[in-house]
A = this chain, B = another copy of it.
Amino acid sequence: MAATSDWKAIGAQKKQSILDKIPPEWRLPAETLAAAHEDAEIDVTGIPRECGILTADEITITESYDATALLAKLAAGGYTSLAVTTAFCKRAAIANQLTNCLTETFFDEALERAKYLDEYLAANKKTVGPLHGLPISIKDSFNYIGQETTLGFVSFVGGKTVAKEHSALVKMLLDLGAVLYIKSNIPQTLMTADSENHVFGRTLNPHKLTLTAGGSSGGEGAVVGIRAAVLGVGTDVGGSIRVPALCCGTYGFRPSASRIPYGGQGSPGRAGSPGVLAAAGPLATSFRDVRLFMETVLGQQPWKYDHTVLHAPWRQLSSSAPKILTIGLLPIDPAFPIHPPMRRALDSAISKLKAAGHTIVPLGYVPSIAVANREIAEYYSLDPIITPFKNIEASGEPQIRSVAESPFLSKRLGKLDMDDLYTLNATRTQCMAAWHKIWTTTGIDVILGPVCETTAMPHDTFGNTPYTTLYNYLDYPSLVIPHLKADKEIDVGDGFISYKGYNAEKTHGAPTGVQVAARPQFDEELLDAAEIISEVLKA
């Protein structure tokens, strides 16, 4: 273990070793670098296109396709995987210099694999699998053989977390033909909406560097938000896919627990938690790529890779014809009023959906969202030895601000006993049963509501996420659909409600969105409905 005085040096050295791997010709000019910092109120999403590092083809590859379209090109030989992988490696290197979104990079290995895939396609006249040649980004928590899984803990640096086995999902993606090339940044402990740690520093929002990229899959949000990948994989136990998706303007899907392989990841916490299950899921630039991810992974029989995956094949629902939806509208909890830009995004969605002929059913009484949010914080706080804090303390590094001020941990952190757990579980079951009654009595297809009270906030001020934790508490599959952007001219509020920390000027330009959710293992029904909703919102 490092002496406590060493933690800064260890972190800095690790971070530098990643930056050092960027080839000189992929490096941004000094003045661009100097301008890209967490106090710079700038949108950097255009820089990859403008910086001169990418060729015209590489700009087209990274900006003009989603994963579905790129895969079609790749399979047809329209692009080689080498060309596509090169383009995304370069863009990822640029993105990292601008937003600090990456932890590990393995560009050389990725390019080697791309060459192999190209040769395979040429020799066999068929693809390795449905993800043939596509670069996919993964959150740092996934193990990739030969790479460290430090999770941003200084105490995890130094070789002991170098993966000897791929995570189950990583192995699957490779078997499906994907190319992996980067791992993305996360917050210390993975339990905040600010992806900052003392190894890699803070991930910035590509739409405005002064804002958070969200967390815990904040690096992934930035990567997909700046199109350094068109498909990324995060994990979510309280909003960790959906908050970054919201903040960075991407689609983000938390599937029902245990449908996508979660096994074989590094963890900031302790094995054996009896708490709420985390889920892995995609961040994407198009709705159809969310479906692509789910159908491709489920089509590969993930239960062969991971014993924790439900043996529940993806169900192709029979009704493919457009249909009229009955959409339950989640009431806003008075304890958590949504900020004007989020209100406008939601109102716009409601208007458009009504105009398109869908039925909006405001749900009257629902079990308290605030109580669910409080209860889930207790679940996060069960570990009596508070392992994530031990992992911080092991190097002498301090807690990051968003951990020290976390709204996600109970005051009884580490002190809850078996009696408390019985009570928590019984309360949760009652809540699930009450919600179940709402579904069966109202006949709604999905629930529409906000993603969070706010979209991207200035660093370290995001706070709580009651509208995402609700669905972790209920184990509801839930999808963020990007919709509109915060606008300081319009989103001024009504003057009556005080929105905690909201500043129209500071938030201006941040993406906004809405969230749709369904019952556990109704992922298929959710995506069918969300496809319709997504089309309506785009129209």
Using a CB–CB distance below 8 Å, which chain A residues touch chain B? 263, 270-274, 303-304, 306-308, 310-313, 315, 382-385, 416-419, 421-429, 432-433, 435-436, 440, 519-522
Contact = CB atoms under 8 A, between A and B. Distances in A.
A426 B387 CA distance: 14
Given A272-B424, A423-B272, A440-B304, A522 B311 contact: yes
A417 B519 CA distance: 32
A182 to B, nearest CB: 28
A310 B435 CA distance: 15
Given A385-B419, A417-B417, A440-B304, A272 B425 contact: yes
A425 B311 contact: no
Contacts of A425: 271-274
A419 B426 CA distance: 20
A76 to B, nearest CB: 31
A426 B271 contact: yes
A470 to B, nearest CB: 15
25 contacts: A270-B422, A271-B422, A271-B425, A271-B429, A272-B425, A273-B425, A306-B436, A307-B519, A307-B520, A308-B429, A308-B432, A310-B310, A310-B312, A311-B519, A311-B520, A311-B521, A312-B312, A383-B418, A383-B422, A384-B418, A385-B419, A416-B418, A417-B417, A418-B418, A421-B421
A155 to B, nearest CB: 20
A440 to B, nearest CB: 6
Copies of this chain: 2
A51 to B, nearest CB: 46
A145 B422 CA distance: 27
A417 B421 CA distance: 10
A511 B424 CA distance: 44
3 residue pairs, one from A and one from B, having the closest CB atoms: A272-B425, A272-B426, A307-B436
A436 B272 CA distance: 18
A519 to B, nearest CB: 7
Given A384-B417, A417-B384, A440-B304, A273 B422 contact: yes
